[in-house]
Structure 1
Amino acid sequence: MASAVSVVRTWPSACRFGTATRACHVAALRAQYDALVIGGGHNGLVAAAYLQKGGVNTAVLERRHVLGGAAVSEEIIPGFRFSRASYLLSLLRPHIYRDLELKKHGLKVFMRDPHAFTPMLEEGLGGQPPRSLLLGSDMEQNMREIGKFSEKDAKAYRAFNTYLEKLAEAIHPLLDSPPVDIPGVTQGPLRRRLAALKTLTPLIKTGLKLGKNIPELYELITAPITKILNRWFESEPLRATLATDGVIGAMTSPSNPGSGYVLLHHSIANSARAHGAAIFTEQEVEQVLVGPDGCAKGVLLKDGSEVHSRVVLSNATPHITFKKLTPQDSLSPEFMRAVSEIDYTSPVTKINVAVDRLPNFLAMPNAADGTPGPHHQCSIHLNCESVEVLEAAYREGKQGRPSARPMLEMCIPSVLDPTLAPPGCHVVSVFTQFTPYWLEGGRAWTDQDREQFANSVFDWIERYAPGFKGSIVGKEVLVPPDLERIFGLTGGNIFHGAMTLDQLYLARPLPSLSDYRTPIKGLYLCGSGSHPGGGVMGASGWNAAMMVLTDLRRG
């Protein structure tokens, strides 16, 4: 997900992060805690750390044998460690990194510079390699790279970055705070109204930062990304490279309204444990316990045992939280209908590949000694020669067919962290779009379908980097139903719900449910299905924890 917003991208050490997320049963699970967190994904762990730090005795209950949720690292092929469902750490909120002392607790972050590489499929001119686009923090070098395609775009790129960075900086207060408490401001006793007015502060800060640029932010979050990019640039490789950030992880095309926001939008367990939180794996929650007073009082585990608490935080998707974990008679039919309407459509298939040598791209051939080049550490955009290529891939996915020429975003984290693979070998993550949850005619994916799609992806990589297919020593193909089954991502959606305009800020996940509280007192959402949404940023966990601490103090 190469972004024009941040000039440097980061990469968590999957090996060290994975090691950090292996939970130890250092103490027995007790029958009573102040707070229980369902799910040991990154937001659940952030919430647990802040609650425990705030003096709330907290336990995390994770269904799988390992912590981390969709950001987990696992050795799925002997000797090769993969971040199975995610691969970049570009959105982690800086204050969380500092507050929880994540560096001290084992989170090693690798800075990627350059961060985006887009090779072309074309015949080289005068015997030269095909052209490519390499973007990083060096603006002068970026302009030279873009100038290979358009001198006009090269001159415009600096101003475009300034434009995006200004808007991104302005919305930071909104990411680190719950949405405005509309019911509190508009109804209820005066005391509540006065307290609710404080929730307007982040919105006011954003407005003051934006000033006369408020219309620009409004346009960016509502317009198709193509409208924005076409105004700034004329070269297709640059527009397509930047457009990928408007559609990554979303079943949308660059020409659909709202794709501009996704462009703008773009170790924890040890810290939680260090603050005293109890963390348990292989503890699957069967149901949230609701008392006669209608308040959450703990959870029922799959083994039949009960664990009681004052509050329960769910890091699961809203669908799982309310449709599977909450007693249905505790929620109104109207609310359940609204929950059923949340959009979880996903276009993503993640392919994890173990290779015995570096890919050798025609557009930037490998060094004779096999040393990785700057482009190997990037998000490598394949089939991104033009926006129309992305549009065509989207249209096929919407028709229930995996894209014949899929949009590919490829990363090789072992270039920066050699501990992830045996000497001379590498781990390759391929984020692919567009693949539907159900195939044409409502048919479920079969192993043959997975194999066929993976082969198609590898054929395309082979065209850019001949010899890639011969370097493969193992693979894992995770289509949307696999992402749902393994990681609890409803619909296979990596963001816990589509990041569309009708499911953001005051409407995430529902207009009636945006302050992390639920209709059941004492039950909260803390996952990416709540504001501000997906990405490995931890903001949902932080905001939810702050809300819980406030409520507990009030009694």
Structure 2
Amino acid sequence: MAAKAWTGRTRRAFTSLGTVTRACHFAVKSHYDAVIIGGGRGTAAYLQKGGLKTAVLERRHVLGGAAVSEEIIPGKDPFLWEQTDREHIYRDLELKKHGLKVYMRDPHAFTPMLEDGVGGLPPRSLLLGSGLAMNQREISKFSKTDAKAYPEFITHLDKLAGAVHPLLDSPPVDIAGLTGGPLRRRTAALRSAVPLLQCGLRLGKNIPDFYEIITAPIMKILNRWFESEPLRATLATDAVIGAMTSPNSPGSGYVLLHHVMGELEKEKGAWGYVEGGMGGVSKAIASSARSHGADIFTEQDVDQVLVRSDGTAKGVVLKGGTEIHSRVVLSNATPHMTFRCLTPQSALSPAFIKAVEQIDYTSPVTKINVAVDKLPNFLAAPTPDSKPGPHHQCSIHLNCESVEVLEDAYKDCLEGRPSSRPMLEMTIPSVLDPTLAPPGCHVVSLFTQFTPYSLGGRGWTDQDREAFADSAFNWIEKYAPGFKASVVGKDVLTPPDLESIFGLTGGNIFHGAMSLDQLYLARPLPFLSDYRSPIKGLYLCGSGSHPGGGVMGSPGWNAAMAVLVDLKLG
């Protein structure tokens, strides 16, 4: 009966959310002050508020790029939202007023063990949330020493993450301006150094610790603080999530720091589910942009950026040949898509093109969306009455009870095959958001690692997708018997699928690896870190620019500010 409920009600359950937004009822104008390619609704709101008539052109039938909600059978609601949205952006765009509703998750993380219970008890598990006393009780099941050290570790991590905040809402330091150029640029360059100075002052004596965490393998740091599994492995997952790296790889510490920088409802490091799925974020931001006068269109596929003979951008041309002229063009696409697919190659130097080709987009992520007709029942935290427990609202970490398991999964992918025991991060947003599924049914989102872009030099087939999904489900079955029988629909999105559907080069959800060579002054390239491109009037505004990936809004905010400054200065 529940499976029939899915079949009969899925379309109604999802389209009623209003996240599938068709093209506006009015036509695209031939002239705008600013045109944004591929999303960028928040950027549009700021440009419109700054006095620029702005249009957003989205290739797909639904707004939001990868942050969308569609039918679960098939379903594409790809990513859990951590509001790394900066508080001032959240406030400026009045997202609550425009319908954004977030269900806070607490506890945050649940790591069940695969082991035999002792004395008839369930297998052990680790449950972490915002309550310090609860966290210490949970950790003490594995190590009393670790339970005692945990509060100091969290305080230390928060201090390092908080110090970085001034860098998120400003472009990187203008090194070229500091070292030469006209007086006006040198003055502006001095101002660009202020956030870096603020960061240094906040860090103070912790500067060596900060340097270590952004350069070291996360295990070097975790081993110093803790002795037990699964605590180290649970913390290590945030150091590798979305990244083709292992807990023992240099630089994995920064990925962990990036994941604890965010705030949700003013709570640091918090996570939550947006009502209606990720499309709810896009819908609210689009509503805000429209309220300021921005025009937002779907099913408008940009073919190329128009460039004048003097090397300046003058607008875009759509696939059908329609030209839209503008003073500036901003691209929310990846740097690769922007400069290798959308920009005339004759307008770019061979050296620049070669540098763009070197940007790393390696991704280990396969996303599996699942519709189930009953709630997973975990051996480590039984709920035989099918009522959600606190652990059901968490990020549920499976195959994450030891760092060795994570390392083995990574090594499989390095050898060109999907992990035989993949790292699985499961979320069940319908536990808190009843709009996502019929009564008694649930939406399960699986963020899986590690899977390569190609399999031994060949592409993924439908048979490969089925085999990997079946492997993932078999592992879930070990933790929650009955899961496989509850599946009534699924959608498997490998790295090539994420690339072709959402325009994510290499399937990389961050628009480029968050590695040390592609951060801050070097994101996406050392001479392309201030959102301005070699084509005057063409800007980057997506996650491929500083400060990087996540639904945070900072790249778009910074790019909008750069545009407004440039147009003001003439």
CA–CA separation in structure 2 for the residues paired with 1:59 and 1:240: 45
CA–CA separation in structure 1 for the residues paired with 2:428 and 2:27: 39
The offset of 1:55, in angstroms, is: 1.1
Corresponding position: 1:19 with 2:13? no
Q: What is the one-letter code of the residue matched to 1:34?
A: D
Could you list the per-position Cα deviations for residues 33-59 of structure 1 after superposition, in whole angstroms to 9, with x for gaps in the alignment?
00000001xxx1111111111111000
CA–CA separation in structure 1 for the residues paired with 2:195 and 2:563: 19
2:78 aligned to 82, 85, 89, which one? 85
Do the aligned residues in 1 keep the contact of 2:361 with 2:508 (CA within 8 Å)? yes
CA–CA separation in structure 1 for the residues paired with 2:546 and 2:54: 22
Return structure 1 stretches of 4+ with deviation > 3 angstroms. Answer: 14-18
Q: Please say which of residues 341-350 and 22-31 is displaced more in the overlay.
A: 22-31
Do the aligned residues in 1 keep the contact of 2:76 with 2:491 (CA within 8 Å)? no
Could you list the per-position Cα deviations for residues 320-364 of structure 1 after superposition, in whole angstroms to 9, with x for gaps in the alignment?
000000000100000000000000000000000000010000000
Could you list the per-position Cα deviations for residues 172-229 of structure 1 after superposition, in whole angstroms to 9, with x for gaps in the alignment?
0001111001111111122211121100010011011111111111000000000010
Q: Partner residue of 1:125?
A: 118
Q: What is the one-letter code of the residue matched to 2:36?
A: V
Corresponding position: 1:73 with 2:69? yes
Q: Please say which of residues 193-202 and 459-468 is displaced more in the overlay.
A: 193-202
In structure 1, stretches of 5+ residues that fail to align are: 1-13
Q: Partner residue of 1:64?
A: 60
Corresponding position: 1:136 with 2:151? no
Instruction: State how 1:102-121 maps to structure 2 within 5 Å.
Output: 102-121=95-114
Corresponding position: 1:209 with 2:202? yes
CA–CA separation in structure 2 for the residues paired with 1:204 and 1:83: 42
Q: Partner residue of 1:32?
A: 31
Q: What is the one-letter code of the residue matched to 2:26?
A: A
TM-score calculated relative to the size of structure 1: 0.95
The offset of 1:77, in angstroms, is: 1.6
Could you list the per-position Cα deviations for residues 480-499 of structure 1 after superposition, in whole angstroms to 9, with x for gaps in the alignment?
00000000000000000000
RMSD of aligned alpha carbons: 1.3
Corresponding position: 1:431 with 2:430? no
Q: What is the one-letter code of the residue matched to 1:323?
A: R
Corresponding position: 1:269 with 2:265? no
The offset of 1:269, in angstroms, is: 1.0
Could you list the per-position Cα deviations for residues 511-555 of structure 1 after superposition, in whole angstroms to 9, with x for gaps in the alignment?
010000000000000000000000111111111111111111111
CA–CA separation in structure 2 for the residues paired with 1:217 and 1:199: 21
The offset of 1:404, in angstroms, is: 0.2
Do the aligned residues in 2 keep the contact of 1:61 with 1:283 (CA within 8 Å)? yes
Corresponding position: 1:315 with 2:332? yes
CA–CA separation in structure 1 for the residues paired with 2:181 and 2:223: 48
C-alpha change, 1:17 and 1:504, in structure 2 (3 Å) is: farther
CA–CA separation in structure 1 for the residues paired with 2:107 and 2:76: 21
CA–CA separation in structure 1 for the residues paired with 2:98 and 2:368: 29
The offset of 1:443, in angstroms, is: 1.1
Could you list the per-position Cα deviations for residues 429-451 of structure 1 after superposition, in whole angstroms to 9, with x for gaps in the alignment?
000000000112x0110000000
Corresponding position: 1:418 with 2:434? yes
In structure 2, stretches of 5+ residues that fail to align are: 1-12, 260-283
CA–CA separation in structure 2 for the residues paired with 1:28 and 1:480: 35
Corresponding position: 1:468 with 2:483? yes
CA–CA separation in structure 1 for the residues paired with 2:223 and 2:177: 42
The offset of 1:265, in angstroms, is: 0.4
Q: Partner residue of 1:54?
A: 50
2:389 aligned to 350, 373, 380, which one? 373
Do the aligned residues in 2 keep the contact of 1:16 with 1:108 (CA within 8 Å)? no
The offset of 1:19, in angstroms, is: 2.4
Do the aligned residues in 2 keep the contact of 1:21 with 1:270 (CA within 8 Å)? no
The offset of 1:399, in angstroms, is: 0.5
Instruction: State how 1:98-497 maps to structure 2 within 5 Å.
Output: 98-266=91-259, 267-368=284-385, 370-440=386-456, 442-497=457-512
C-alpha change, 1:17 and 1:251, in structure 2 (3 Å) is: farther
The offset of 1:292, in angstroms, is: 1.4
SS in 2 for 1:128: coil
TM-score calculated relative to the size of structure 2: 0.92
Do the aligned residues in 2 keep the contact of 1:71 with 1:83 (CA within 8 Å)? no
SS in 2 for 1:71: coil
Do the aligned residues in 1 keep the contact of 2:531 with 2:562 (CA within 8 Å)? yes
The offset of 1:167, in angstroms, is: 0.6
The offset of 1:94, in angstroms, is: 1.2
Could you list the per-position Cα deviations for residues 234-289 of structure 1 after superposition, in whole angstroms to 9, with x for gaps in the alignment?
00200000000100001100000000000000121111111110000000000000
Do the aligned residues in 1 keep the contact of 2:19 with 2:62 (CA within 8 Å)? no
Q: What is the one-letter code of the residue matched to 1:516?
A: Y
CA–CA separation in structure 2 for the residues paired with 1:506 and 1:274: 34
Q: Partner residue of 1:9?
A: none
CA–CA separation in structure 1 for the residues paired with 2:184 and 2:431: 57
SS in 2 for 1:458: helix
Q: Partner residue of 2:267?
A: none
Q: What is the one-letter code of the residue matched to 2:428?
A: I
CA–CA separation in structure 2 for the residues paired with 1:193 and 1:359: 59
SS in 2 for 1:300: strand
Q: What is the one-letter code of the residue matched to 1:319?
A: H
The offset of 1:93, in angstroms, is: 1.3
CA–CA separation in structure 2 for the residues paired with 1:279 and 1:430: 31
Q: What is the one-letter code of the residue matched to 2:91?
A: R
CA–CA separation in structure 2 for the residues paired with 1:525 and 1:350: 26
C-alpha change, 1:150 and 1:83, in structure 2 (3 Å) is: farther
CA–CA separation in structure 1 for the residues paired with 2:185 and 2:558: 19
Could you list the per-position Cα deviations for residues 423-469 of structure 1 after superposition, in whole angstroms to 9, with x for gaps in the alignment?
110000000000000112x0110000000000000000000000000
SS in 2 for 1:19: coil
Q: Partner residue of 2:535?
A: 520
The number of residue pairs the alignment matches comes to 534
Do the aligned residues in 2 keep the contact of 1:16 with 1:106 (CA within 8 Å)? no
SS in 2 for 1:381: strand
Do the aligned residues in 2 keep the contact of 1:17 with 1:107 (CA within 8 Å)? no
CA–CA separation in structure 2 for the residues paired with 1:20 and 1:472: 25
C-alpha change, 1:499 and 1:18, in structure 2 (3 Å) is: farther
CA–CA separation in structure 2 for the residues paired with 1:508 and 1:534: 11
CA–CA separation in structure 1 for the residues paired with 2:395 and 2:181: 50
Q: Partner residue of 1:7?
A: none
Do the aligned residues in 2 keep the contact of 1:18 with 1:74 (CA within 8 Å)? no
C-alpha change, 1:296 and 1:17, in structure 2 (3 Å) is: farther
CA–CA separation in structure 2 for the residues paired with 1:183 and 1:284: 36
State percent identity of aligned pairs: 75
Q: Partner residue of 1:553?
A: 568
